[in-house]
């Protein structure tokens, strides 16, 4: 419908000029979805806003616009209501044609955005000296979803994981590697070091019990930063172990395989130059030995401007310097127009500060959009930050496996109640898809910037705005096709779609809105808008399914309704795939 709305807007603009003269060229007709479906599909509110300027009553203005408006090819005759709203209802015949056109289109009529942009989505970007934990869930899930949507809309997307792969935390791991696996350093073969978790635990144990080991760890950091060859080799091994472990988690989560690690270490050689350039630009100030940029709009308790340190007094660089280098590189080398950082809300100041410095340095210009999406916290049932039984941030792998276990328990109970026998393979597959999807959907269906309570019961509920509800709507349609022996791909290619009943019309209109919804998410980067759309779609489909006969209906209604059911299933499938969620044929 995006094209239809654009068309309606153009016609309204022409009518405004025809009615009131050239001065009104470019006036926004203020076209919005109807406040109440009783009044139509869309309404234009421009008459109210012009009253003063034209010195006429809004209703009279609305009447004149309508007299000069030609939309007979796709709308019912527009009506004027209330103080001067102009109401539009799309012709049923027009909706039927639009649906018919997308019936066999894998993109469901959604055209790529012109011109496409080059975009970076910075995710999931964990710190790799440690295991991934609950803090990486929202960046992973939101980043993956945004990358998928932007890619679908034709943009060229780089999935860049800005992994924390440098600095102090590696000292302990390198020292442990050198101590426990001296042979690892002698060969260039990849060595089996077990999983990162136990490697990390053993290293931490050594660190906590032995001051001499602590000294070795400290030394390892110094040698790493000095570029000592052997230490770098040890560091490479630890990074490899870590990245391999995380890859398995990405795979389990179903994140895009296009994620590339481009971590903090990638920018090491550029850091001195970043500082030099800031110095050349006159932005740098030396403050008790540290090099910093004083920030605008950030002050301490005494009201003095806060510094952003880019080089510590010992000469070392930090997280901010690295992000400045990354911005410069993304602009100059990657040549992106947009760089999206879905990262926890606690890093809001960090991003505001580095973006500010990058703007003042002239690296970020007004035509570029570098944006931090401040993701809210995941909370426990007690409303506080989610913790594991031992009081730490829950490990990502535990969360994922717990979700799968919960999904399996639900499924086994349901199978028993329904007296169904299914293979172990079926149970495993469904439990995995439902469990992981439930976690992702529960996250994406929330406003990304607000916190939400993590609850397996709620995210796995078969009713409500949940993954299982959406998956089930899809399964229902596949059930119709199995029951009726219908092949949707060849169904009614030449048969008409007829929208007579209210449930059909409501469903049809909703189906045609996906492109508008995606355009909104493309701009505001809030995936919950897409979830809301899919939830409403499933509800509208369920009403259609419950109230109208489909397989039992007489022709031509039968085929027409089957086509509607098919387009609904395809829309759910596409929508879920953009959230990073696969569908199930049965569940």
Task: Report how far residue 542's alpha carbon sits from residue 302's, in angstroms, rounded to the nearest whole number.
Answer: 60
127 binds ligand ARG (CB under 6 A): yes
Sheet holding 156-161, edge to edge: 260-261, 156-161, 118-122, 338-344, 369-375
**By CB under 6 A, is residue 134 in contact with ligand ARG?**
no
- Residue closer to ligand ARG (CB basis): 11 or 328: 328
Q: Please tell me the count of residues contacting ligand ARG according to CB under 6 A.
A: 10
Please list every residue from 337 through 376 that binds ligand ARG, using CB under 6 A: 341, 343
User: Closest distance between ligand ARG and the C-beta of residue 195, in Å?
Assistant: 19
Would you state the structure tokens that stand for residue 43, as one six-digit string?
A: 């309404």
> Which CA distances in Å does 103 have to 73, 304, 421, 514, 556?
22, 63, 35, 14, 16
Angstrom distances, CA of residue 551 to CA of 69, 479, 494, 499, 542: 42, 11, 19, 16, 15
Cβ proximity to ligand ARG, 200 vs 213, nearer residue: 200
Q: Which is nearer to ligand ARG, 125 or 513 (CB)?
A: 125
Distance of closest approach, residue 196 Cβ to ligand ARG, in angstroms: 15
Q: Which of residues 175-234 bind ligand ARG (CB under 6 A)?
A: none
Q: Give the H or E element holding residue 406.
A: helix 396-417
Select from 121-129, 181-189, 201-209, 272-280 the region that touches ligand ARG (CB under 6 A).
Answer: 121-129
Given candidates 29, 78, 84, 164, which one binds ligand ARG under the rule CB under 6 A? 164
> What percent helix, strand, coil does the chain show, rounded to 5?
55, 10, 35
Q: Which of residues 247-276 bind ligand ARG (CB under 6 A)?
A: none
Query: What are the residues whose beta carbons fall under 8 Å from the beta carbon of 458, sequence distance 6 or more?
Result: 442, 464, 466
- Is residue 572 within the footprint of ligand ARG (CB under 6 A)? no
Part of the chain binding ligand ARG (CB under 6 A), chosen from 69-77, 125-133, 237-245, 460-468: 125-133
Residue 262 CB contacts under 8 Å (≥ 6 apart), including other chains: 160, 161, 162, 163
- Cα Rg, the chain, nearest whole Å: 29
* Cα–chain center distance at 289: 42
Q: Least distance in Å: CB of 128 to ligand ARG? A: 9
Listed ranges 119-127, 176-184, 395-403, 553-561: which one lies at the site for ligand ARG (CB under 6 A): 119-127
Could you identify the residue written with the tokens 């942009």? 117
Q: How far is CA 154 from CA 84, 111, 117, in A?
A: 40, 8, 8
From the CB of 347, what's the least distance to ligand ARG, in Å?
7
Of 79-87, 106-114, 123-131, 485-493: span binding ligand ARG (CB under 6 A): 123-131
Q: Which is nearer to ligand ARG, 322 or 445 (CB)?
A: 322
φ/ψ (deg, to 5) at 339:
-135, 120
CB 261 to ligand ARG: min, Å: 12
The interface mask with ligand ARG, positions 77-116, x = CB under 6 A, is ----------------------------------------
Count how many residues are written for the chain.
587
Region near ligand ARG per CB under 6 A, out of 100-108, 122-130, 461-469, 477-485: 122-130
Interface with ligand ARG by CB under 6 A: which range of 118-126, 310-318, 520-528, 565-573?
118-126
Which listed residue (43, 125, 225, 466) binds ligand ARG by CB under 6 A? 125
Q: How far is the CB of 217 from ligand ARG (least distance, A)?
A: 20
Are 30 and 49 a contacting pair, CB within 8 Å?
A: yes
- The distance of closest approach from Cβ of residue 342 to ligand ARG in the complex, given in angstroms and rounded to an integer, is 9
Nearer to ligand ARG, 166 or 545 (CB): 166
3-state secondary structure of 31: strand
The smaller minimum CB distance to ligand ARG, of residues 162 and 529, is found at 162
Which residue reads 């066999």 in tokens?
A: 104
Contact indicator for 471, 583 with CB cutoff of 8 Å: yes
The 3 state secondary structure assigned to 316-374 is CCCHHHHHHHHHHHHHHCCCCCEEEEEEEHHHHHHHHHHHHHHHHCCCCCCCCEEEEEE
CA 401 to CA 414: how far, in whole Å?
A: 20
Among 41, 122, 410, 503, binds ligand ARG (CB under 6 A): 122
* 159: contact with ligand ARG by CB under 6 A: no
**Distance from first CA to last CA of the chain, Å, rounded?**
33
Beta strands at 369-375 and 338-344: parallel, antiparallel or unpaired: parallel
Give the CA dihedral 486, 490, 491, 494, nearest 10 degrees: -160
Closer to ligand ARG at the Cβ: 78 or 143? 143
- Residue 46, CA distances (Å) to 9, 109, 585 in order: 11, 30, 47
Smaller CB separation from ligand ARG, 151 or 323: 323
Q: Residue 126 interacts with ligand ARG (CB under 6 A)?
A: yes
Residue 126 or 307 having the CB closest to ligand ARG: 126
Q: x/- contact string, 309-328, with ligand ARG (CB under 6 A)?
A: --------------x--x--
Q: Using CB under 6 A, which of 155, 162, 406, 509 touches ligand ARG?
A: 162
**Residues at the contact surface with ligand ARG, assessed by CB under 6 A:** 122, 125-127, 162, 164, 323, 326, 341, 343
């Amino acid at each position: 419908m995006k094209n239809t709305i654009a068309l309606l807007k153009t016609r309204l603009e022409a009518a405004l000029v025809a009615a009131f003269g050239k001065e009104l060229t470019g006036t926004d007709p203020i076209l919005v979805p109807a406040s109440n479906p009783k009044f139509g599909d869309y309404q234009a509110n421009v008459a109210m806003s012009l009253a003063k300027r034209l010195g006429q009553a809004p209703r009279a203005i609305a009447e004149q616009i309508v007299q000069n408006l030609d939309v007979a090819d796709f709308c019912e005759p527009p009506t004027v209501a209330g103080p001067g709203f102009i109401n539009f209802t799309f012709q049923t015949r027009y909706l039927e044609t639009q649906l018919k056109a997308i019936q066999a289109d894998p993109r469901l009529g959604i055209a790529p955005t012109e011109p496409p942009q080059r975009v970076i989505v910075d995710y999931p970007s964990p710190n790799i000296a440690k295991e991934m934990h609950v803090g990486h869930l929202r960046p992973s899930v939101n980043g993956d979803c945004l990358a998928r949507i932007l890619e679908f809309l034709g943009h060229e997307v780089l999935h860049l994981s800005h992994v924390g792969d440098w600095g102090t935390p590696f000292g302990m791991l390198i020292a442990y590697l050198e101590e426990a696996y001296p042979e690892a350093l002698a060969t260039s073969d990849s060595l089996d070091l077990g999983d990162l978790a136990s490697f990390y635990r053993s290293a931490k144990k050594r660190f906590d019990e032995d001051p001499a080991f602590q000294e070795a760890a400290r030394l390892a950091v110094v040698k790493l930063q000095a570029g000592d060859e052997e230490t770098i080799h040890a560091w490479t091994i630890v990074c490899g172990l870590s990245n391999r472990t995380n890859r398995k988690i990405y795979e389990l989560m179903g994140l895009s395989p296009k994620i590339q690690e481009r971590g903090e270490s990638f920018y090491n050689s550029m850091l001195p130059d970043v500082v030099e350039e800031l110095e050349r630009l006159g932005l740098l100030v030396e403050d008790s030995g540290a090099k910093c940029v004083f920030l605008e709009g950030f002050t301490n308790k005494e009201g003095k401007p806060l510094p952003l340190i880019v080089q510590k007094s010992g000469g070392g660089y930090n997280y901010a310097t690295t992000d400045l280098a990354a911005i410069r590189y993304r602009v100059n080398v990657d040549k992106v127009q947009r760089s999206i950082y879905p990262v926890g809300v606690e890093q809001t100041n960090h991003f505001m500060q580095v973006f500010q410095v990058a703007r003042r340095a002239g690296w970020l210009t007004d035509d570029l959009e570098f944006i931090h999406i401040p993701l809210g916290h995941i909370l426990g049932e007690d409303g506080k930050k989610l913790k594991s039984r031992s009081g730490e941030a829950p490990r990502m792998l535990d969360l994922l496996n717990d979700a799968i276990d919960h999904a399996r328990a639900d499924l086994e109970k349901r199978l028993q109640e329904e007296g169904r026998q299914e293979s172990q393979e079926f149970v495993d597959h469904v439990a995995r898809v439902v469990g992981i999807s439930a976690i992702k959907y529960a996250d994406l269906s929330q406003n990304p910037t607000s916190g939400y309570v993590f609850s397996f019961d709620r995210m796995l509920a078969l009713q409500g705005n949940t993954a299982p509800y959406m998956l089930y709507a899809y399964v229902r349609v596949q059930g119709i096709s199995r029951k009726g022996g219908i092949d949707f791909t060849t169904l009614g290619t030449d048969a008409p779609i007829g929208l007579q009943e209210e449930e059909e019309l409501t469903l049809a209109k909703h189906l045609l809105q996906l492109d508008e919804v995606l355009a909104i998410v493309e701009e505001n980067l809030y995936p919950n808008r897409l979830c809301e759309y899919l939830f409403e779609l499933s509800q509208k489909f369920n009403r259609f399914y419950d109230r109208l006969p489909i397989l039992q209906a007489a022709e031509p209604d039968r085929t027409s309704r089957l086509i509607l059911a098919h387009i609904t299933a395809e829309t759910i499938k596409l929508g879920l795939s953009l959230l990073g969620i696969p569908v199930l044929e049965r569940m």
